[in-house]
Amino acid sequence: MASKLWEKSTTVDHDVESYTVGRDREMDLYLAPYDVLGSLAHIKMLQSIGLLSAEELDTLTGELRGIYEIIGKGEFKIEDDIEDVHSQVELMLTRRLGDTGKKIHSGRSRNDQVLVDLKLFIRSRIEDVTKAMTRLFDTLLEQSERYKDVLLPGYTHLQVAMPSSFGLWFGAYAESLADDLTVMRAAYEITNRNPLGSAAGYGSSFPLNRTMTTNLLGFDSMDYNVVYAQMGRGKTERIVAQALSSIAATVGKLAYDACLFNSQNFGFIKLPDEFTTGSSIMPHKKNPDVFELTRAKCNKLQALPFEITLITNNLPSGYFRDLQLVKENFVPAFDDIIAILDMVTAMVSQIKVNRSIVDDDRYRLMFSVEEVNRLTLEGMPFRDAYKKVGLDIEEGKFNAVKEVHHTHEGSIGNLCNDKIKALYDKTLAGFNFETYHRAFAALLGKN
Ligand code: ARG
C-alpha cells in the first residue's frame, strides 16, 4: 500500500521524505485534536449536501470522537512512514472503516485542513495566554494598591527626575497589559474566521455549505474569498505573533526595571531569595537570573514576527510548502509566553519594596518641581519660580520638602486603577471564548 495520500506509482526517496517532513510530525501533534474537530464539522456538512449517508456520518462521527479521546490520553502517534496528522487521521479511519473512511476528504484539501487546524489551535492557545495575562494583570494591580503611598525616584535619561511611586510603577505595567490585550483581541478576531471550504485554495465544485461549518466550529464568520483564505496562512500567525510580541515587550521592560531596581546601587526592591541565584566564586551574590532570562526570552519572542515575515516574504498567492516551516517557530511560542507570564506573576507577587528610598538625600532634588509648583500656586509666575528654585539649588539653599500632592487622573495620588481594570475587563469579555467551547462540546457529543 502506498504510504502517502498522494502517492500513486512512484515511491518517494527516503532522504527527500525526511527533508520535506522534517519536524512537521512533531508540530502536527499540537494540531491533532483540532484536525479531528475540523473533520467532525466537515463530515456533518458533507452529509447535509448528500455526499455521505446518515449511517456513514454516524460511523465516522463515532470513530473520530474515539480518535479525539486517544489524543486526549496522549496515546495518538503519527507513524514513521505517515507524512502528517491529516494523513494519519484519514489512515486510522480507512483502516477501521474501509471505503467510508476514504470518503471524508471530498471537498477539501490538506491546505484548508491545516489552515483550519491552525486557526482552532491558535484560538484555544490565545485563551490560555489571556488567562496567564489576567493573573499577572491582577497581581500588578494588587501590588500597585498595596504600595500606592511608597515613593521612588522617577528617571528621565536615567537621571533622577521627579517623584514616582510603586503605585505608579506596578500600575503602569498593568495598563500596558490592558493595551496588549486589545492588540490580542484584534489578532483573535482575525483568527476566528473559518477557512474551511477553500480546499486547495480555489474552492470546490461540490456545493459546500461553508456557513454550516463556520457555525459548527464556533467561528465568528468565515474568510470568504477562497484565495484570501489561503493567503491567511502565515498572515494569521504573523499577526498573532505581533500580539505575543507586544506582551513580551511589556514584560521585558518590567524585567529590566526589576534587575535595575534590585541592584545595590538602587536598592528599591528586594527579590525573594528563592528567586535569585548564587555565584560559584562570590559568596555574597544573589543574582536576578530569573528576570535576566525573562528579558532575553522576551527579546526572542519579539523576533518571532520578523522570523515569520522572512519565511513567508515574497511568496505569491496560493499554497507553498514554505508555509509548513512557520509552525516550528510559531507553535512553541505560546508555551514560552505562558511560562514567562507565570514566572513573572510569581516574582511580582513576592517583590519586597523599600519604603524609605526618599530618606536618602541623593534623591532630594527630585522634589524641586514640587517646590516650583508650590510657589506658582502662591502666585509667583511659573518661570520666576523655576528660576528661584534653580538658583537656590546652585547656591546650596534648596530645602527639599519630601512630600507630594498629585491629584489629577493617573498621577501618584489618583492612580485610576479601577478605570484600568474596567478597560481590561471590557476587552476580555469581548473574546467570548464560550461560543467555541459550546460548539466543540456539540461536535464531541458532550452537551
Ligand atoms: N504539512 C503541510 C503544511 O503544513 C500540510 C499541507 C500539505 N499540502 C501540500 N500541498 N503539500 O503546509
Q: Whose CA is nearest to atom 12 of ligand 1?
A: 324
pLDDT along the chain (447 residues), means of 10: 68 86 96 98 98 97 98 96 95 96 95 98 98 98 98 96 97 98 98 98 98 98 98 98 98 97 95 83 82 97 98 96 97 98 97 96 93 94 95 93 93 98 98 98 94
> Separation of 325 CA from ligand 1 center, angstroms?
10
Distance 324 CA to ligand 1 centre (A): 6
pTM of the model: 0.94
Residue 233 half-sphere exposure toward CB, CA atoms < 13 A: 32
Q: Which numbered atom of ligand 1 lies nearest the CA of 323? A: 12
- Enumerate residues 6+ apart whose C-beta is below 8 A from 252: 294, 295, 298, 299, 302
Q: Name the residue at shortest CA distance from atom 10 of ligand 1.
A: 111
Q: Identify the pLDDT of residue 3.
A: 66
Q: Tell me, in angstroms, the distance from the centre of ligand 1 to residue 104's CA.
A: 18
* Residue whose CA is at the smallest distance from ligand 1 atom 2: 324
For residue 117, the CA-to-ligand 1 centroid distance in Å is 12
Alpha-carbon distance of 113 to 200, in angstroms, equals 9
Ligand 1 midpoint to CA 159 (Å): 54
**Burial code of 325-342, b = ≥16 C-beta within 10 A, e = fewer?**
bbbebbbebbebbbebbe
Q: Which residue puts its alpha carbon closest to atom 11 of ligand 1?
A: 321
C-alpha cell at 147: 504600595
Q: Which of 27, 90, 114 to mutate to test the pocket of ligand 1 (most atoms within 8 A of CB)?
A: 114
User: Residue 48 and residue 69: Cα distance in Å, rounded?
Assistant: 25
Distance 30 CA to ligand 1 centre (A): 15
205-240: b (≥16 Cβ within 10 Å) or e: ebebbbebbbbbbbbeebbeebeebbbbbbebbbbb
Mutate which of 115, 198, 321 for ligand 1 pocket (most atoms within 8 A of beta carbon): 321
Q: How far is the CA of 68 from the centre of ligand 1 (A)?
A: 22
The C-alpha cell at 202 is 480555489
The answer to whether the beta carbons of residues 323 and 312 sit under 8 Å apart is yes
C-alpha–C-alpha distance, residues 278 and 75, integer Å: 41
Rounded to the nearest whole angstrom, what is the distance from the C-alpha of residue 26 to the centroid of ligand 1? 14
List all residues whose CB is within 6 A of at least one atom of ligand 1.
24, 84, 110-111, 114, 319, 321, 323-324
Which ligand 1 atom sits closest to the C-alpha of 24?
Answer: 1
Residue 353 grid cell: 519594596
| Beta strand ranges found along 96-222 (DSSP E) | 151-156, 159-165, 193-194, 221-222
pLDDT of residue 131: 98
Span between the terminal Cα atoms of the chain, in Å: 40
- Whole-angstrom CA distances from 138 to 47, 175, 207, 256 are 47, 11, 49, 20
Specify the residue for cell string 498522494: 6
Q: Identify the pLDDT of residue 36.
A: 98
DSSP character string of 16-31: HHHHHHTTHHHHHHHH
d(CA 291, CA 259): 6
Of the candidates 237, 258, 247, the residue with the CA atom closest to the CA atom of residue 308: 237
Residue to mutate, 19, 83, 84, 118, ligand 1, most ligand atoms under 8 Å from C-beta:
84
CB 409 within 8 A of CB 160: no
- Cα 379 to Cα 373: distance, rounded to the nearest angstrom: 10
Q: Residue 414 has what DSSP assignment?
A: B
Counting from 1 in the atom list of ligand 1, the atom nearest the Cα of 324 is 4
pLDDT of residue 282: 79
What integer pLDDT is reported at residue 139 of this predicted model? 98
- Residue 200 CA: nearest ligand 1 atom is 10
The reported pLDDT for the residue numbered 13 is: 84
C-alpha dihedral (310, 177, 250, 263), degrees to nearest 10 = -160
Q: Identify the residue whose C-alpha is closest to ligand 1 atom 1.
A: 324
CA of 338 to the centre of ligand 1 (A): 28
Closest by CA to 223, choosing from 204, 247, 243, 195, is 195
Q: Cα(332)–Cα(262) distance, rounded to whole angstroms?
A: 31
Atom of ligand 1 nearest to the CA of 21: 1
Atom of ligand 1 nearest to the CA of 83: 1
Q: What is the DSSP string of 316-341?
A: -SS--GGGGGHHHHHTTHHHHHHHHH
- Give whole-number Cα distances, 175 to 182, 241, 250, 424, in Å: 11, 20, 10, 8
Distance CA 139, CA 170 (A): 9
- Cβ neighbours of residue 375 closer than 8 Å, sequence gap 6 or more: 385, 388, 389
Residues contacting 360, CB < 8 A, separation 6+? none
Give distance in angstroms: CA of 111 to centre of ligand 1: 6
**Separation of 87 CA from ligand 1 center, angstroms?**
11
